[in-house]
A = this chain, B = another copy of it.
Amino acid sequence: MSFVEVSNVWQAYGDRSILERVNVAIEEGEFISIVGASGCGKSTFLRMLLAEETPTKGTIRIDGGEPAVEPNPERGVVFQRYSVFPHLTVRENLVAGEGFATFWGRLFGVQRRAAVERADEMLERIGLNHVADQFPASLSGGMQQRLAIGQALTAKPRVLLLDEPFGALDPGTRLRMHEFLQELRAETNMTVFMVTHDLEEGFKLGDRCLVFDKPRWDPHDPGRYGATITYDFDARNNGIPFQTTKETENVVHAATA
């Protein structure tokens, strides 16, 4: 059995079908990029992986466990924005990551000191030790996202879910974030799902690249049929090379400005 098992998942809002018959199996440690046209249901799929929503049909299991009904520390997440707590300093954001699981939501005494130490290590790793005592609002977008990723990792999630994590960053920063993410991956070998608008980014970072699209289309009622996984590319250096997949762009009609 695979690590993450998505079996026959459907999702509909009211009578608008968003996703249908989504089946996919993911091995532990894989980096999955998810691309597709705007509004096709990528974030919806991620929300179901996160258990923020439950599918109308089908199940999602991690490591063979029961389908989750709500977000839990098994799944870490980073959104495009608002993934860190604005009222906590950078260091506190990381310490909070550990403390939230306790009754009072904060650590005291020895535990706290240990958590602060671990937070400082993490800060070193994500290169934010020089701004440890600043508030997120005074950080650049790239720094905020690094913090968000670091914070997600403090809870030691089994899968990490990223929804266009670099969508709001400028190109230079984006490149540095790619490097950062690749380094982190090399260290931890996490299982990652990353939604992106940018096909290039998806192929650069992912081991596999899932393409969501509507296989059926009713011109009189666009909301009738949902999207599903239409392509499942091997995107590793030694898989299908990037250049030859360029032509899929038309199939996917991704990235329409």
Seen from chain A, the residues whose Cβ lies within 8 Å of a Cβ on chain B are 140-143, 167-174, 176-177, 197-198, 200, 255-257
Contact = CB atoms under 8 A, between A and B. Distances in A.
A173 B143 CA distance: 24
A170 B167 CA distance: 7
Each complex incorporates copies of this chain amounting to: 2
Contacts of A168: 168
14 contacts: A140-B257, A141-B257, A170-B197, A170-B198, A170-B255, A170-B257, A171-B171, A171-B174, A171-B198, A171-B200, A172-B197, A172-B255, A173-B255, A177-B257
A174 B143 CA distance: 22
A81 to B, nearest CB: 13
B171 A257 contact: no
Contacts of A167: 170
A197 B200 CA distance: 21
Contacts of A169: 257
Contacts of A256: 140
A184 B194 CA distance: 37
A172 B257 CA distance: 7
A255 to B, nearest CB: 4
Contacts of A142: 257
A176 B143 contact: no
A172 B38 CA distance: 13
Nearest to A142: B257
B140 A173 contact: no
Given A170-B255, A172-B197, 12 more contacts: A142-B257, A167-B170, A168-B168, A170-B198, A170-B257, A171-B171, A171-B198, A172-B198, A172-B257, A173-B255, A173-B257, A176-B257
